[in-house]
Chain A
Amino acid sequence: MSAPPLLHLQQLDASYGPIQVLFSVQLEVQPGEIVALIGPNGAGKSTVIKSIIGLVRVLRGQIRLAGREITGMATHHAPLHGIGYVPQGRILFARMTVRENLEMGAFLQQDPRERRRLVEEVLDQFPQLAARAQVLAGHLSGGEQQMLAIGRSLMMRPKLLMLDEPSLGLSPKYVDQIFAQLLVLRDQGHTLLMVEQNAARALEIADRGYVLELGRNRFADRASALLENEAVRRLYLGGV
């Protein structure tokens, strides 16, 4: 028997109120992988991530983390389970400083000295943020905000990091930077589940990919295979 996947969604149905959005979604993430979740607008990509983290109600199905069921967990337990989350739209605490945003990422660390150490660690990893540690997050540029949102999600050293559209709305320079950063994270041993509009780019750095459409699995394969798949290219990569 091999070890269970780090994350395993089985037959997941989820809804916003009466409106069902996910239908029997399957997804697996192995430790150390980058998995890309792609699909058109409104396909339910964000909803998949939100149902994992307990922000959306799961109707049926199971979510397992390293074999342990976490379906419908309280969202504020996510860091305890080792799940980090970078929400779509790089939502920050805009009226708090960069440093305070990072501190909030380590809220569960009660020891102030240990918390400060974690902040320094993440600031070391993002020198651009270190230079602006006392600036209000709302005053950062888009790229810096995304760095901060990623940095905040890393504070508790998550086993699984979920990123929702990390490159959305960023200038090309920052898009490059973010993707480079994601590879660094993978090399450091993090496991990433990433939702991306920029599907080609995401599949280039990913190990495997899932295509979601209208709340259902459409394709699932190794990223390189998806990149070469005719249908996927035509429908989702804007290619021929």
Chain B
Amino acid sequence: MLWESSVLLQLALSGLLAGALYALLACGLNLVFGVMGVINLAHGELMIAGAFLSWLAYRYIDLHPLVVLPLVMGLLYGFGVLLQRWLIERLTGRDELTSLLVTYGLSILLMNLGLLLFSADFRSVPVLQGGFYLSSLDLVISKPRAVAGAISLALTLGIFGFLRYHRMGKAIRAVSEQPEVAMICGIDVAKVRQMTFGIAAAMAGAAGVLLSILYSFSPETGGEFLLKCFAVLVIGGMGNFLGALLGGLLLGLVEAFVGGFFNVQWAEAVAYLLLVLVLLLRPGGLLGQRHAVF
């Protein structure tokens, strides 16, 4: 029964949809690393900020998370720009330990702020009940999962397209490669870095809103997701945007199958197994770092 094709298809589809959320989160983290050389340990808390904004809007003004989504992204974009201007910009050119310490501090600060404001209770935003029945394939996909997965994927691909084709996206890539040469081309590098951090924060915020309709969360949930993001980055190749996208999808897929065939505890650990496997077989990540990074 487990080997029936409809079951496999079900697992694959829901795995990919769950993986899209990892991809959205990991791609933002990777973008900041690629451009600023900073590993933002507070990225998970930025996501949780998005989740709580979604929860607040739902609870107090009865707004649907999908309506709140663009607002949260705008808010977090602004917050990201300010963070970069006031804090992260000072870290560029410093050693990695300094930037790790500072973003770790920021992470702790934001998490405790969350605990103070919302306590450690788990919340969720119960919208979109039930599932979509795909009659042609004879399977059911839960609505929140389908919506969150599709939006995650669309956003991630959208940012990818932006980096690839838009003038400012290209400027971000230029700054990530050669900041001094980017400057002589007329690019205001500090502004571009602010924009980059803003985009990453907006992606994290969006991931948070989508998380809020999928799972229950508390201020401490960010850390777990960040760890998985690291696994995704290493699996896909540090600094490699497409790598993080594929790594996220892969992780979702593998988790779904392990959860389906074994149990959920195993699924939780599989990210790290995958990580070790990739490190042993392809230390540069699946796509490596040398190929087109964005």
Contact = CB atoms under 8 A, between A and B. Distances in A.
Contact of B170 (A76, A79, A94, A96): A96
A147 interface: no
A95 B293 contact: yes
Interface stretch (B43-51, B80-88, B186-194, B277-285): B186-194
Interface string B156-196: 00000000000100110110011011111111110000000
A136 B170 CA distance: 14
Contact of A95 (B167, B177, B181, B188): B177
B223 to A, nearest CB: 32
Nearest to A84: B184
B174 A93 contact: yes
Given A91-B178, A95-B293, A78 B184 contact: yes
Contacts of A55: 180, 183
B184 A75 contact: yes
Contacts of B178: 91-93
Contacts of A112: 167
A44 interface: no
Interface in A127-164: 136, 152-153, 156
Contact of A79 (B174, B185, B294): B185
B173 A76 contact: no
Interface string A28-56: 00000000000000000000000001010
A104 interface: yes
B1 interface: no
A98 to B, nearest CB: 13
Contacts of A108: 186
| Chain B at the A interface: SS class | helix
B180 to A, nearest CB: 6
B289 to A, nearest CB: 10
Contacts of A93: 173-174, 177-178, 181-182
A96 B173 contact: yes
A207 to B, nearest CB: 25
A107 B169 CA distance: 11
B174 A76 contact: no
A107 B173 contact: no
Contact of B186 (A87, A91, A156): A156
A166 interface: no
A96 B180 contact: no
Interface residues of A, number: 30
B184 A53 contact: yes
Given A87-B181, A103-B170, A76 B292 contact: no
Interface in A67-95: 74-80, 85, 87, 91-95
A104 B187 contact: yes
A176 to B, nearest CB: 26
A75 B183 contact: yes
A75 B180 CA distance: 8
B167 A105 contact: no
The CB with the most chain B CB atoms within 10 A, among A79, A107, A136, is that of A107
Nearest to B168: A107
A100 B170 contact: yes
Interface string A101-116: 0011101101010010
A87 B184 contact: yes
A75 B178 CA distance: 14
B186 A78 contact: yes
A107 B185 contact: yes
A53 B180 CA distance: 11
A177 to B, nearest CB: 22
A115 B171 CA distance: 14
Contact of A104 (B180, B182, B189, B293): B182
A148 to B, nearest CB: 12
Contact of B292 (A74, A87, A95, A105): A95
A80 B181 contact: no
Contacts of B294: 95
22 contacts: A53-B184, A55-B183, A75-B183, A75-B184, A76-B184, A76-B185, A76-B188, A76-B189, A78-B186, A80-B186, A93-B173, A93-B181, A94-B177, A95-B173, A96-B173, A96-B174, A103-B167, A104-B182, A104-B187, A107-B167, A110-B167, A136-B292
Smallest CB-CB A-B distances: 7 pairs: A75-B183, A79-B186, A108-B186, A76-B183, A85-B184, A104-B185, A93-B177
Interface of A: 53, 55, 74-80, 85, 87, 91-96, 100, 103-105, 107-108, 110, 112, 115, 136, 152-153, 156
Given A87-B180, A96-B170, 18 more contacts: A53-B184, A55-B183, A75-B184, A76-B186, A78-B186, A79-B186, A87-B181, A91-B180, A92-B181, A93-B174, A100-B170, A103-B170, A104-B170, A104-B185, A107-B167, A107-B187, A110-B167, A153-B184
